[in-house]
Structure 1
Amino acid sequence: MTPSTVAPSPPVAPSSPTGRVWVRLTGLSGVLASLAWLAGDILLLGKPMGTADQYPLLASYSGTARDSLAAMLPASTTRLAWGALLGVLTGPLYLVACRQLRQGLRPAPRRWSLPPYVLLTAGFALAPFAHGSFFSWGQAAKAVHESGVRSDVLTALPGDIATVLFIPYAVLLGCWAAGSAWMAACILRGGTAFPRWMCVANPLICIPVGMLLTKALPGAAGTAVQGAALSVGNLLLFTLSTAVLWKRRG
């Protein structure tokens, strides 16, 4: 038989033992990545927030930017570095984990199952840059504060970094929102490995739930996870998907 007549090997079926192991490993990759990012968020943003009296730089900012800087300014350089690196170095695990979502949707037609996978994967591909940029943002603010120099140019530096940082965040959240809506519609339509109630297991739902959970924790625990809503939401997403698909054969 010539090489041109050799039939290609069939893809691994999710219902085969090898396929089930792959689905489990991809799900566990998402859980592991979420835990690593949760630890990174705690290191980056889990300190009690400083005040404008302690850090006059904060008076120039408001909203989310001010809260993030208020949490990073009291942190050490080493703490910020490890917080950023935990997310950047484990970012590829999220891309592996997206394959589990693809397997869960795959029995549905490609026109329904492929777009949410692509959109969600695009969002997770952008996430490590956004997460890692918090180190530069926090370090810039710390340098401005510790220099003691009152300069409009220096004061604006953290804001310039935040502007660039929030652009990929906006794009990835947009990808997650669109992918979540499409994924929910695909599951509700039927014909996937996910039961229909899993239509609520997507970033568009899980991240707001993560926000509620992080705000509900009291005291030091609440302070530690005050900036970890996305990681908690993703941990919930991949824990649910892994549990649902763990023993599923078809």
Structure 2
Amino acid sequence: MDKSRQRARVVLIMGIVGIMGVLLTIASDFILIGRPSSSKAFFKLGTESMAGLSQWRITIGAFVGIAIIPFQIAGLISIYYGIKPAGKAKALAIVLTNAHTLMMAVAFHTSYAFIASGWNLYYEIGVGDKVAEKMIMRFAYYWKLIIIVMSVELVLSSAYYVILILSGKTLYPKWMAFFNPICILIYIYPLLIIAPKPIGGFIAPAFLNLTTLIFFILSTGTIYKKLIRV
């Protein structure tokens, strides 16, 4: 009883740290690439939406995110305790995979500073400059490689998470299988894509972190309640 309550407190405290980390990362997204436009305009422009950003936004937005993202790892503690009844190794497999995804997110966030600076240079030199254009293409190539690694890890960990929950051997109720990160992303994306100007241009850049925020809140709340009642 006491041990379960101690774990519940750990889940709650670490969960709050993780959730605060996500909220601050979302704030860094607003600073770095948010602008008063529609979501469609943001997704259509892609990385070019960062062209014209002031240097203070690039610097503060990038490095606040870099400093804060590692704190999101604390939010994974609820997943560990939630999956652990199905096997410690299985819980660690999911947590470590997600932790690595968050580490890759630091590199992903860092790349925004280089890409934004590249687009600014491109327009300062003059549209059509081949050297600046090639540099941006190289930056975008590395950026896409990071996205691929993160996407593969997210899909694999979400699939395993669903399989374990549906087995009935975890602390999660089975409905949580339908609120894994990939499913949450699918649920909120249609809402994000229709978000109008000016709010859409601020929400769209943070869609991955919004997914993490929703998942952390649901996971932390669910596992805390389970442990506190044992």
Report the TM-score, using the length of structure 1 for normalisation.
Answer: 0.82
- Alpha-carbon distance, 1:141 to partner: 1.1
- Alpha-carbon distance, 1:175 to partner: 0.4
Which residue of structure 1 aligns with residue 27 of structure 2?
Answer: 39
Decide whether the 8 Å contact of 2:79 with 2:91 is kept in 1: no
The 1:132/1:238 distance shift into structure 2, 3 A limit, reads same
Cα-Cα RMSD: 2.3
What does residue range 1-250 of structure 1 map to in structure 2 within 5 Å? 15-48=3-36, 67-148=45-126, 150-249=128-227, 250=230
- Alpha-carbon distance, 1:246 to partner: 2.7
Unaligned runs of 5+ in 1: 1-12, 50-62
**Number of equivalenced pairs:** 225
CA distance, structure 1, for counterparts of residue 126 and residue 198 of structure 2: 31
1:100-134 alpha-carbon deviations (Å, 9 max, x no partner) = 21111111123543322222222112111111210
- Alpha-carbon distance, 1:248 to partner: 2.1
1:65-86 alpha-carbon deviations (Å, 9 max, x no partner) = 9723332113211112222122
Report which of the two structures shows the higher radius of gyration computed on alpha carbons: 1
Decide whether the 8 Å contact of 2:185 with 2:211 is kept in 1: yes
> Residue type matched to 1:95 in 2?
I
1:200-240 alpha-carbon deviations (Å, 9 max, x no partner) = 22221122233233224322111211222101111110011
Q: Percent identity, aligned pairs only?
A: 23
The 1:65/1:144 distance shift into structure 2, 3 A limit, reads farther
Decide whether the 8 Å contact of 2:42 with 2:204 is kept in 1: no
CA distance, structure 1, for counterparts of residue 30 and residue 141 of structure 2: 22
CA distance, structure 1, for counterparts of residue 22 and residue 150 of structure 2: 16
CA distance, structure 1, for counterparts of residue 127 and residue 198 of structure 2: 33
Decide whether the 8 Å contact of 1:141 with 1:158 is kept in 2: yes
